[in-house]
Amino acid sequence: MDKNLKRMATMQRLQVTGLELFYNNGYYNTSVDDILKELSLSKGAFYYHFDSKEDFFIQILENLLARKVYSLLIEPIEGHDNPVQLITDCFENALETAVHNELDCGFVLSNFVNEFRGKNEKISKHLNDILQIWEVNLVSTIQKGKFNGHIDRHVDAEGVALFLMSSYMGVRTLMADNAPSARKYRFMAQLKQFFKSIEVKQPAI
Amino acid sequence: MDKNLKRMATMQRLQVTGLELFYNNGYYNTSVDDILKELSLSKGAFYYHFDSKEDFFIQILENLLARKVYSLLIEPIEGHDNPVQLITDCFENALETAVHNELDCGFVLSNFVNEFRGKNEKISKHLNDILQIWEVNLVSTIQKGKFNGHIDRHVDAEGVALFLMSSYMGVRTLMADNAPSARKYRFMAQLKQFFKSIEVKQPAI
DNA sequence: ACTTAAACCGACCGGGCGGTTTGTTCAAGT
DNA sequence: ACTTGAACAAACCGCCCGGTCGGTTTAAGT
């Protein structure tokens, strides 16, 4: 049993470090040796645990990245409160996390999607799956808001979801380059402005 | 004089093909040989005209990419008409171009910014300069709209500009992966919704 | 104490890359 | 006809990367 534990521990260390380096430098610009050097492990260790660099990355996607996206962007908006408030708080929190992340390199999913497009269909599919889960979740949350009277019934839920995803992905890229905190603040203000325009007008009591 | 003409022609061919391949595959994943193979030229030809791969890319940025961004995203919104309409039409047209571009790989600037971040400061600076010109132009256009009565005076021009840039960059990434035409349509509808919320309320005559 | 297998090491290989160098072609100037 | 230099060809260099493989260490089972 201890064997299994050690195996898991080493694989976990490799994956965590791998994601960090892939995130910062890109997949193709990070060599397996770079990751191994960071952990003082050898090529033999790596290829004992993983079939290939590609297999390694896919496991990172499933074990680390998908869960990260889920806990940061999906789980927080699942609830029966005001969807507008839930999404606003969720974005606020996600962007705040990005601000305080010293080595933030933009929205990791967005970067990888761009890097693998047209170059590795297998990985691209995995990445698209994660994005799609996010999209589906956003759409259903917005639909919920339409039914429970928080969002105007005429809005196109898929359109709003797309707009939210687009703006989030874009601002993460821009935040990574300049003045992340100021840009986060400005972005959130405009996001709220947008939300106001799709909310049902509450009659002032 | 004919010499100079031929020189220019060859350099131009190299740059156009280079941008195309860099755009599709990324800078680090495109070898100089890849570009040369496309044009049936040799390494000697390349290094006769350019100092290095980096120098080559920077010339592409200045000669092709900057002008492309200018003609597609900056020049169209410079005018004294309704800024909201100008920006809407500009985005509509830019996205339509992307839809009909067979090999569209998202917003080229956004991709390059991500690829070079933290890896090549010189190139990153060039890219940021281009983005900044776009931003400044958007801000001044919005300011103009505030002064000439098309946009509400209370809106934060820099915030709106950031929001526009973010959403555009994001949707370009998403359009490159799935259903570009449908996503363009949905995006534009939401963009107009956003604009409606920052326009001054025209009293119905 | 011995076996066994998991876990790991590190040298090595084939290939591709950015960049250099040497040599060739060809057109313009005289 | 000869020179000159721009424009290109092609072989080459040093480096790095993904992946392989034979060997070594470690620890659990008996």
pLDDT, tens only, B61-87: 999 999 999 999 999 999 888 999 999
Q: What is the CATH number of domain B53-198?
A: 1.10.357.10
How long is the CA B116 to C1' D26 vector, in angstroms? Answer: 43
Contact A190 B29 (CB under 8 A): no
Q: How much is the mean pLDDT over chain B? A: 92
- Domain B1-50: which CATH number of 3.30.70.140, 1.10.10.60, 3.40.50.1360, 3.30.160.270: 1.10.10.60
Closest chain B residue to A125, measured at CA: B177
Q: Do B169 and A165 touch (CB under 8 A)?
A: no
pLDDT of residue A202: 61
CB contact under 8 A, A167 and B166: yes
Question: CATH 1.10.357.10: which residues of chain B?
Answer: 53-198
On chain B, the residues whose CB falls within 8 A of the CB of A155 are: 193
* C-alpha to C-alpha distance for B195 and B84, rounded to whole angstroms: 7
Q: What pLDDT does residue B75 have?
A: 96
Residues of A in contact with B121 (CB under 8 A): none
User: Rounded CA gap, A156 and A170, in Å?
Assistant: 21
pLDDT in tens, A15-58: 999 999 999 889 999 999 999 999 999 899 999 999 999 999 99
Residue A28 CA to residue A54 CA, distance in Å, equals 10
Residue A203 has pLDDT above 60, yes or no: no
Please report the residues numbered 42 through 101 in chain A whose beta carbons come closer than 8 angstroms to any beta carbon of chain B.
Answer: none
For the cut 80, the answer to whether the pLDDT of residue A6 exceeds it is: no
Residue A194 near chain B (CB below 8 Å): yes
The model's confidence at residue B205, banded by pLDDT at 50, 70 and 90, is low
Distance C21 C1' – B45 CA (angstroms): 13
The DSSP output letter for A74 is I
Q: What is the pLDDT of residues A164-188, one digit of tens each?
A: 999 999 999 999 999 999 999 999 9
**pLDDT in the model for residue B114:** 92
Residues 158-177 of A with CB under 8 A from B: 158-160, 162-163, 165-171, 173-174, 176-177
Question: CATH 1.10.10.60: which residues of chain B?
Answer: 1-50
* Delimiting residues of CATH 1.10.357.10 domain(s) in chain A: 57-198
- The two three-digit tokens of residue B87, written as one number: 């920006």
Q: What are phi and psi of B199, to 5 degrees?
A: -80, 155
In sequence order, which residues have a C-beta less than 8 Å from that of residue A113 and are 6 or more positions away? Answer: A124, A127, A128, A131, B173, B177
Protein residue with the closest CA to the C1' atom of nucleotide C10: A42
| pLDDT tens, residue by residue, B85-126 | 999 999 999 999 999 987 777 899 999 999 999 889 999 999
Token pair, residue B90, equals: 């500009």
Question: Candidates 3.60.21.70, 1.10.3730.10, 1.25.60.10, 1.10.357.10; correct CATH number of A57-198?
Answer: 1.10.357.10
